[in-house]
Amino acid sequence: MKIAVIAAAVAVLAGISLSPGVIGATSLKKEAKAEKSPTSLSSVLLKQRQARGAYLARAGNCIGCHTTQGGLAYAGGRKLATPFGTFVTSNITPDKATGIGDWNEDDFWKALHEGKSRDGRLLYPAFPYTEYTKITREDSDAIFAHLRALEPVVQQNPPSQVASRYDFQPLLTLWRAAYFKPGVYQADPTKSTEWNRGAYLVQGLGHCSACHAERNPLGGMIGRKGDDKLGGGQIMGSNWYAPSLTSSLEASTAGWPIEEIVQLLTTGISPRATTSGPMAEVVSQSLQHLTKEDARAMAVYLKSLPETQSHQQVNPPAQTEQVQAWLRYGARIYKEHCQDCHGDSGQGAPGIYPPLAGNRSVTLTPPTNLIRSVLNGGYPPSTAGNPRPYGMPPFAQVLRDGEVALVLSYIRNAWGNRASLVTTAQVDKSREGITER
């Protein structure tokens, strides 16, 4: 997997009151005769803003990109490989020399809303300002207040390595003219407050389309009418596929109860699905920390998305003698390595091991995520709602590429499943970067 309306609503949903009277309600009697000084009052309001900003930064999963593996929070340094070069995330702690210590609220707003750095330089959309532009000014200021309150980290990160043919600001200007339209989220008056809150989180702060949108060769999102650009696509520079959130063949939740969608978002597991890979990171670092109200709002919005046709073609193999021989071989591998947990009929174990029969993540085309899960292991996130998740060990060192292809081809065509065969070449390609974060 791995998220996104009104500022007052954010404060309420985060459990924070903007009213000094409410804040001081528990000690009204003691303070009835005393008035807060302007300095004291502004300090209280600043702390409220910082607390709200901390919540919003969690909801936007800022730490996910701006922290490298084993590094200090928000100090940047994580490398994001794309077809256009390798981008290195920036240090957004308040260090003046290597972070954003010299920035002000206007500079930060300009980056989120307009995709421009403090010096006016156009930012590359590896930073998802195409989604963050929908964030309100009040929320932007709150996030900035939180970042300013962090401990400064002195960390000079290496520069991004943009391919020479793309390292040209006028070219980026043309890209923005075609694929970027700045603008704060505008509530739909025909929808409920809850729905609009969910849309704001999904489309803006959660920047779900940054992964779940199909992209053209220039990196521009391909949107289809009615699907809010969540039609699924290969995550840029990654051997993971972010499934469509609007296709029932992929990851649409239109037919799910709201409670199960909330459960998946906040714990990483549900009776119908389990998150893994990049989406497990998003759940662990971000979504599990949502308030109940925000998690439900996202679920309401996601459930409402209209059905669209998956752009992936289902091509089950013809049952030739050769194919049947391959599937029998795959069945033997399954019996040896998989059956003890997933069952002889692919039924799994409820709440422990996911079923493989009738599991749309198993039959998803391309089979990228399935291959990665076998090679890397399948691990749901550890969350407050599921602190000790069951997982699957990695088989990258146990099975050869051909064996992985055969067992997955069998699983994708057993117990009523019907999908294309997995090839050795697909497995070999998916081994790339299996040790990278």
Positions at the binding site for heme c: 62, 65-66, 208, 211-212, 338, 341-342
- Which tokens in the block code for residue 105? 């609220």
CA 275 to chain centre: 11
Neighbours of 84 (CB within 10 A): 19
What contacts 246, CB < 8 A, 6 or more positions away?
A: 226, 227, 228, 230, 231, 252, 254, 305, 306, 307, 308
Q: Please report which helix (H) or strand (E) contains residue 144, including its range.
A: helix 137-148
- Which tokens in the block code for residue 405? 């292809």
Annotated binding site: 62, 65-66, 208, 211-212, 338, 341-342
Q: Is the dihedral of CA 115, 120, 126, 127 positive or negative?
A: negative
d(CA 303, CA 283) in angstroms, rounded, equals 18
2 contacts 64 by C-beta, under 8 angstroms:
yes
- Enter the DSSP assignment of 350: T
Cα→Cα distances 354→77, 343, 378, Å: 35, 10, 10
3 state SS of 158: coil
